[in-house]
A and B are shown apart, each in its own frame.
Chain A
Amino acid sequence: MVRRTDSRTHPPRGTPGRDQLVARLADRAKFIRLETVRLAEIPGAGHYTGTFSAAELIASLYYAQLRYRPDQPDWPDRDRLVLSKGHAAIGLYPVLADVGFFDAGLLDDYTRLGSAFGDHPDMRKIKGVDFSSGSLGHGLPVGAGMALAARVRGRDHRVYCVTGDGELGEGQIWEAAMAAGHYELGSLVVIVDRNRLSIDGPTEDIMGIEPLAGKFASFRWNVQRIDGHDLDAILDAYDRLEPPGRGRPQVIIADTVKGRGVRRMEGDVGWHVGRLAGADYDEVIAEITAGLQPLDTGGRSD
């Protein structure tokens, strides 16, 4: 296997470079949340909370970790990103536009008849989307296929896959987890947005998925578990990844809070799909603009 020659390592903690990077990522996570709120107004509904929980993860991937060329979206050596939790696409689209895959003005037609941009991402219509998603559980096997293809073709890119936690109930996830361990897909990096809520309630009430780290480990994966809103922790996790190639597949379980960044939504199962209106809208914009505040842990439902 060809070894990656340009592995990105991030500036160490405590250095000005690191502080600048973290500040930049925090700003872009804020941008993701603001754009999510703006776009959700167009159809009058949106997956706010599952996008907010992944905002730091998506920002860190596109602004610090992934290897890609916006002017060459089909570049064979690019890192792939499969957004298995496709309902967070509303937070992905603005990023793809922001980094240069397409004109941000296209998003003004979000969800309108004939638009390329729906609730779930379509690879055939949107530059920068490496695979269509929406049907939960598919991203991990698709990503495994991409990692196998990289091996067949002798390429050194990684394949990142962002999954939700509720979708880990899909059997296909574990079929693919088993195959990735068996085939030693060290180029496959799964990031679980562990926000602890699926549509009907807390995952541990609906269908418990813990002990999650132990599950992946027993499937022959390397496991890291971090605070998925702590940008320093996310960057450290990326830096701890084994190089791509043959080896254990790698999972980063990112403990997050569904709805993070908007107090009324944090940990509230009722906001899986919702709508803001009037004064609420303005308040939420102001709250997001102010940046992440300490959690009101009394409001968490887990």
Chain B
Amino acid sequence: MTDAGQQDMSGLFRGTDGTHPEPKGRAADWTEETSEPASERRGKLGGSSAPEAQSNTDPKSGRGISATSIPAFVAGAELADLADTDERIVVLTADLAHANRTIDFGARHPGRFFNVGVAEQNMVSIAAGMAASGLLPYAATFAAYVALLACEQIRTDCAYTGMPVRILGHHSGMSLGFYGTSHHSLEDLGIMRTIAGLTVVCAADASQLRAILRASLSHPGPMYIRMGRGRDPQVYEQPPADFRIGRAARLREGSDLTLITTGSEVHPCLAAAESLAAAGISARVVDMHTIRPLDTGEIAAAAGETGGVLTVEEHNVTGGLGSAVAETLADARLAPRFRRLGVPDVHVLLGPPAALYAHYQLDAAGIESAARDLLAS
């Protein structure tokens, strides 16, 4: 991971960090889809509502080469702002300070920033020890490594103890595309949501991430905050003022079915609902940002009021949001038309993220198709 990372993320921080040597080699970032024209990529991923993805793209190369081309990685800057007035905040990372922009925190609060090197388990346990001494640690690294490799540390040192450690698992799902299964995190929700006492929240975009981080200041116990690839198209123009951990956000009303989704799939679900509307199908869209504790009332309302539920997640269909919703429906003896859309219990193909989303029906077109299938069932 380290070798590839240092080679390929060089373009992430050009000119943004005076302490870092000038990157060498071609500009690229972790999620660049090199085999696909940039224009097509924007169309698939950003659509017309993704101004950052376009405005920050280098006009010459067509590639995003500056730090601002990853607008969703605002955790470092946001936490730096919060830390100006909250002395408890410390930030840790595991040799990904530039990739996840926690370096933005380190630049402003160097005495409260700790890069532990390539040692994710150590990072989580150190954070737990810090929390036991009254600090509020935010520990950020690839979701694949923190949620899978350091799962036991999260359970034993953070959740069992009730320590207010905030785990930031970024580049979740299959957003690392052609880096392959070692770098994918399609199991993290399933693992994290079985840990008692752990709050699990997914950020759909930069604004919602800011809202999550702000809410996390006073949230008791540990949190797993799942983040996308850092180039996520905008869903929320501003950090939603009514954001509450554990209370789903109904982003679009609808009467024929409900798309219950989370994180990176919120945006394509909204796009799918728009297309469905044009065809006379009224789809409600619920951003179930909090996977644990789950907003079961919103699920029951979706079942009762729309009669159809399609869950959509960038995660294995086993164990994640879809499973959680299915459990809720079964417990409540609710039987709407129901389908789970996610990665179909496989280690996914290798490819650029956009191609993967299309292949696994997790882009707007695929979601629209799945919704039609559900209504026809």
- Chain A residues engaging chain B, CB cutoff 8 angstroms: 76, 80, 82, 123-124, 130-132, 134-135, 138, 141-150, 152-153, 171-172, 175-176, 178-179, 182-183
Does A176 lie within 8 Å of B134, measured CB to CB? no
Q: For A144, what are the chain B residues with a Cβ–Cβ distance below 8 Å?
A: 122, 125-126, 129
Q: Given A150-B133, A153-B134, verify A141-B122 contact (CB < 8 Å).
A: yes
Does A148 lie within 8 Å of B126, measured CB to CB? yes
Once bound together, how far apart are the Cα atoms of A123 and B128, in whole Å?
A: 12
Q: For B90, what are the chain A residues with a Cβ–Cβ distance below 8 Å?
A: 148-149, 152
Q: For A182, what are the chain B residues with a Cβ–Cβ distance below 8 Å?
A: 117
Q: Is the C-beta of B329 less than 8 angstroms from some C-beta in chain A?
A: no
Q: Considering residues B126, B128, B129, B162, which has the most beta carbons from chain A within 10 angstroms of its beta carbon? A: B129
Does A135 lie within 8 Å of B122, measured CB to CB? no
**Residue from the list A134, A135, A145, A183 in contact with B132, Cβ < 8 A:** A145
Does A149 lie within 8 Å of B135, measured CB to CB? yes
Does B132 lie within 8 Å of A179, measured CB to CB? no
Question: What sequence of 0s and 1s flags, for each residue 126-169 of chain B, a beta carbon within 8 Å of any chain A beta carbon?
Answer: 11111111110100000000000000110011001110000000
Ordered by A's residue number, 8 sampled pairs between the chains whose C-beta atoms are within 8 Å are: A124-B162, A132-B157, A138-B157, A142-B126, A145-B126, A145-B127, A145-B133, A183-B114
Once bound together, how far apart are the Cα atoms of A176 and B117, in whole Å?
A: 11
Known contacts A145-B133, A175-B116; 16 additional CB pairs below 8 A are: A131-B161, A132-B160, A132-B161, A134-B156, A141-B122, A142-B157, A144-B125, A145-B128, A149-B129, A149-B132, A149-B133, A171-B121, A172-B153, A179-B119, A179-B122, A183-B114
Does A153 lie within 8 Å of B135, measured CB to CB? yes
Q: Nearest CB to that of B114 among chain A residues?
A: A148
- Chain B residues engaging chain A, CB cutoff 8 angstroms: 90, 111-112, 114, 116-117, 119, 121-122, 125-135, 137, 152-153, 156-157, 160-162
Q: Is chain B's interface secondary structure helix, strand, loop, or mixed overall?
A: helix
Q: Given A131-B161, A146-B133, verify A178-B119 contact (CB < 8 Å).
A: yes
Once bound together, how far apart are the Cα atoms of A132 and B155, in whole Å?
A: 12
Does A153 lie within 8 Å of B133, measured CB to CB? yes
Q: Given A123-B161, A124-B162, A152-B135, verify A175-B121 contact (CB < 8 Å).
A: yes
Q: Nearest CB to that of A82 among chain B residues?
A: B129
A-B contact count (CB 8 A): 99
**Residue from the list A134, A145, A152 in contact with B125, Cβ < 8 A:** A145
Once bound together, how far apart are the Cα atoms of A134 and B157, in whole Å?
A: 10
Once bound together, how far apart are the Cα atoms of A123 and B158, in whole Å?
A: 12
Q: For A131, what are the chain B residues with a Cβ–Cβ distance below 8 Å?
A: 128-129, 132, 161
Q: For B152, what are the chain A residues with a Cβ–Cβ distance below 8 Å?
A: 135
Once bound together, how far apart are the Cα atoms of A183 and B90, in whole Å?
A: 15
Once bound together, how far apart are the Cα atoms of A76 and B133, in whole Å?
A: 7
Q: Given A123-B161, A138-B153, verify A175-B129 contact (CB < 8 Å).
A: no
Does A138 lie within 8 Å of B162, measured CB to CB? no
Q: Nearest CB to that of A141 among chain B residues?
A: B125
Q: For A152, what are the chain B residues with a Cβ–Cβ distance below 8 Å?
A: 90, 111-112, 130, 135
Tell me, rounded to whole Å, the shortest Cβ–Cβ distance linking A140 to chain B. 8
Q: For A179, what are the chain B residues with a Cβ–Cβ distance below 8 Å?
A: 116-117, 119, 122, 126
Q: Nearest CB to that of A159 among chain B residues?
A: B129
Does A145 lie within 8 Å of B130, measured CB to CB? yes
Tell me, rounded to whole Å, the shortest Cβ–Cβ distance linking B108 to chain A. 15
Once bound together, how far apart are the Cα atoms of A152 and B128, in whole Å?
A: 15
Once bound together, how far apart are the Cα atoms of A119 and B114, in whole Å?
A: 34
Does A172 lie within 8 Å of B135, measured CB to CB? no
Once bound together, how far apart are the Cα atoms of A130 and B130, in whole Å?
A: 12
Once bound together, how far apart are the Cα atoms of A152 and B86, in whole Å?
A: 13
Once bound together, how far apart are the Cα atoms of A130 and B127, in whole Å?
A: 15
Q: For B114, what are the chain A residues with a Cβ–Cβ distance below 8 Å?
A: 148, 183
Q: For B117, what are the chain A residues with a Cβ–Cβ distance below 8 Å?
A: 178-179, 182
Q: For B156, what are the chain A residues with a Cβ–Cβ distance below 8 Å?
A: 132, 134-135, 138
Once bound together, how far apart are the Cα atoms of A149 and B114, in whole Å?
A: 11
Q: Nearest CB to that of A123 among chain B residues?
A: B161
Does A146 lie within 8 Å of B134, measured CB to CB? no
**Residue from the list B119, B130, B160 in contact with A148, Cβ < 8 A:** B130
Once bound together, how far apart are the Cα atoms of A273 and B161, in whole Å?
A: 26
Once bound together, how far apart are the Cα atoms of A134 and B155, in whole Å?
A: 12
Tell me, rounded to whole Å, the shortest Cβ–Cβ distance linking B45 to chain A. 36
**Residue from the list A124, A134, A142, A172 in contact with B129, Cβ < 8 A:** A142
Once bound together, how far apart are the Cα atoms of A150 and B127, in whole Å?
A: 13
